[in-house]
Amino acid sequence: MIGFYARTAALCGTMLLTAPVFSIEMPPMSEKEAAAAAADYQKYCALCHGEDRQGYANDDAPSLSSKSLFISGFPNQISLTVTYGRRGTPMGGFSNEVGGPLDQKTINRLLTWLKDQSGAEPDEQFPSVVTGDIVRGEEIFAGECAICHGENGEGEIAPAIGNPAMLALTTDNFLRYAIENGRDGTDMPAFGPLLSAEEIDAVTAFLRSKAAGWDTGAPALRSPPSLEDWVLNPGSSAPLFKLKDELYVKAAELYQALQDKRRMVLLDTRVPSVWQMAHIEGSVPIPYYYDDFEGLAKDLPSDGTWIVTYCECPRAAAESVDRKLRAQGLQNTAVLWEGIQGWVSLGYPVAVGQVPEDPKDP
Ligand code: HEC
Ligand code: HEC
């Protein structure tokens, strides 16, 4: 059994301990802005989430009025859901970055308004990682949760909490908070009085272990690529990336280059435990806190091979590694614009640790 540390959604902001915890700015709003946000809500969201945010008007869309949701999820979790949507559910992404109708400022205004309406005072100091016994968690899920969420988390009369996109975009504690406190004004019960803290941790870790899909079993730890495998497709030519702001490569372009088997190096700049959970195939875990960039620069090719970094939030950790590589004189470096969360939300594939024959007995 693996004591699973469990998460893909390690927002860089929450992990760069010296940086501000949240980078998404959500300033308080004027009356005029609030009125504009209320109108946007009616125009874009009320159809499914209900005129009064009560939920369940259409497509079983959950409530957007519960305090619990905003205490645990504002701003990051909620913003990511609305920006990118939840693939495989009727909740589409609204950001113009993914082809939606709204720019990020308008989304932020709308979310601040929703938070104010709910009366929540979000707790920004939320710790992010929950560890627990996934095998125990699986039993609890079957006994307590499947009746509403479906045996495979596919969503019966409650949201599809087994949805990989949803799990990739939420922190452990966002899930844990919903389990412990329920969602006021909805059918989601508070399990705080019913389960012990360890049991809640266990079921949270179990859900997180499904981040790569319900059927993949528990991943075993995987070794990072060895040095001679860092350059992907070494015999092939380099892709012709058109960088945005001379720094960013878009997910679609990167995906195409990987499909075309172009030569490049991919660096995953998050904490390596998150690389274990899910990463872009072929990437090397070089976390933002790596301490020998001089040595690293010597290990990386200097023949114009692209070195693409990515992280999660979407960009702080990757930008920091990219800056250090450029300072070492490396050229042709780029940062994945959408981050891995955007990558997952856009439906591009990720790899997880190797799956043992019998997932229960690695
Ligand atoms: C076509 C229907 C539809 C529309 C329109 C829609 N949503 Fe959703 N939304 C959903 C569904 C369905 C889910 C639940 C998805 C799931 O199963 O995970 C959801 C989930 C969410 C969540 C996550 C809630 C939670 O409990 O974690 C947020 C936040 C959200 N929507 C905000 C919005 C906002 C803001 C708008 C308007 C800009 C909007 N939605 C428009 C259907 C919709
Ligand atoms: C009686 C039905 C019911 C049971 C039992 C139940 N849930 Fe829920 N759950 C819901 C509903 C309904 C929602 C959506 C609430 C809303 O509108 O915000 C929800 C929401 C959630 C969410 C938040 C999902 C999101 O998209 O933000 C999580 C996580 C969750 N449940 C986990 C669990 C776990 C784990 C268990 C078992 C320990 C469980 N639930 C048992 C009905 C249920």
Digit-coded pLDDT (tens) for 255-298 = 999 999 999 999 998 877 667 767 899 999 998 888 899 999 99
CA distance 61 to 52: 13
Average pLDDT of the residues in 192-210: 91
Q: What is the pTM for the complete model shown?
A: 0.61
d(CA 291, CA 296): 9
Nearest Cα neighbor of 346 from 285, 280, 287 is 280
Q: Residue whose CA is closest, atom 37 of ligand 1?
A: 45
Tell me how far the alpha carbon of residue 117 lies from the centroid of ligand 1, in angstroms.
Answer: 16
At 362 the pLDDT is 32
Sign of the Cα torsion 169, 173, 178, 184 reads negative
Q: How much is the average pLDDT of 52-80?
A: 88
**Distance set, CA 28 to CA 32, 80, 120, 254 (Å):** 12, 19, 13, 37
Does 38 sit in the ligand 2 pocket, CB within 6 Å?
no
Question: What is the number of the ligand 2 atom nearest to the C-alpha of 144?
Answer: 37
Q: Which atom of ligand 2 is nearest to the CA of 166?
A: 26
Confidence check: pLDDT of 41 > 80: yes
pLDDT at position 340 is 87
pLDDT tens for 263-274 read: 999 999 887 766
Whether residue 51 is predicted with pLDDT greater than 80 in this model: the reply is yes
Q: Is 145 in the pocket of ligand 2 (CB under 6 A)?
A: yes
- Ligand 2 closest atom vs CA 161: 24
Amino acid letter, 34 = A
Q: What is the pLDDT of residues 222-231, one digit of tens each?
A: 788 999 999 9
Q: Domains along the chain? A: 22-118 (1.10.760.10), 126-208 (1.10.760.10), 227-345 (3.40.250.10)
pLDDT digits (tens, 9 = 90+) for 96-123: 776 678 888 899 899 999 999 999 887 6
Does position 254 have pLDDT exceeding 70, yes or no? yes
- Residue 335 DSSP SS3: strand
Across 324-332, average pLDDT? 94
If phi over 0 gives left and psi between -120 and 50 gives alpha, with beta otherwise, what is residue 151?
A: alpha
- Measured on CA atoms in the order 82, 88, 90, 96, is the torsion positive or negative? positive
335 lines ligand 2 (CB under 6 A): no
